[in-house]
Amino acid sequence: MLLGYVAAIVSGLAILVWSADRFVDGASAIAQRAGLTPMLIGLTVVSVGTSSPEILISVMSVLAGSGELAVGNALGSNIANVGLVLGVTLLIAPIALRRSTTFIDLPLLIASVLLTAYLIWDLELSRRDGFYLLGALSLFFLRIAQHVKNPADEGMTPAIPNLSAAKAWLSFGVGLLLLIASSRLLVWSATQIATALGVSELIIGLTIVAVGTSLPELAASVMSAIKGHADMAIGAVVGSNMFNILLVLAIPGLWGNLSLAPEVLSRDLATVFLTTLLLALAALWGWNQSKGCGELKRGTGFVLLTCYIGYYFWLLDSS
């Protein structure tokens, strides 16, 4: 039986890589035809699409009475997005940064993490907490609307595939569906293996499920970097992490009060804050005031990936 789950993981990875290619091509072409920047596409369409597995798993978890799995999924995915996704992407290619990302979007993400810490300081995720998180998400949507008003992206627009409108949407749609389906296959298979080995729900959510649901972001970001669209990666990660912390984490609370283990605050949310803060500080460090733009370099990727690996050792030590 375990051999079958391993085969499903391998198949899912193969489909994931192929579908990520189609997805990035379609999203880039749609961005060009709609007059939107790759950054805006990353913050909206890419983020919502690739966060779908987290949202689906969160809903299914609470319906099955496994709220800890949903919480672990939300926090673990944020850690994986910054430490694994951006870490690996930066090792492939540097990522250019806009002023709005450095001085608005990343600080907003840090503020969202601090808001979450304040709400669950009593180690309980309540319905009221869930509504507060959803309210903060609505403010983030207002921030997204500002990108539409000023879509200029001087000197950062990559080469876009020359696709017709129909082919662009077909490529995007097929790629997105296969990204979600293949990541779900990976998560299901890996969860079956972990359950058979007797691992707790929280640890499953923080590790296998979180990594599995972050695979679309990883695949899309790596393919974006290879194709010269690396600026889409930071937009996708910031947007996805916002949705994870403000929507995916809110879902268990909306179903009723959920008691949390102390480690959720002291270990897991603390790691979310640390990795997000490191990313924001790296963005400030790489900002060039005279050029009006910034850059995240490979050294930052190495630090983020090292923190991610260190977090896993921390999990193993405390489990």
* Domain enclosing residue 196, as ranges: 42-159+187-318
How many structural domains compose the chain? Answer: 1
Q: What is the dihedral of CA 6, 319, 273, 185, to 10 degrees?
A: 20
CATH code of the domain containing 283: 1.20.1420.30
Flag whether 208 is in a domain.
yes
pLDDT tens digits, residue range 88-143? 999 988 888 888 888 888 999 999 999 999 999 999 999 999 999 999 998 887 77
- 240 alpha-carbon distance from chain centroid: 4
**The tokens 């972990």 sit on which residue?**
194
Rounded distance between C-alpha atoms, residue 118 and residue 121, angstroms:
5
pLDDT tens digits, residue range 16-46? 767 777 877 787 788 777 776 666 665 566 5
Flag whether 235 is in a domain.
yes
User: Which pTM does this prediction carry?
Assistant: 0.79
The phi and psi torsions of 295 (rounded to 5 degrees) equal: -155, 135
Amino acid at 91: L
Rounded distance between C-alpha atoms, residue 166 and residue 66, angstroms:
41
SS3 state at 289: coil
Flag whether 255 is in a domain.
yes
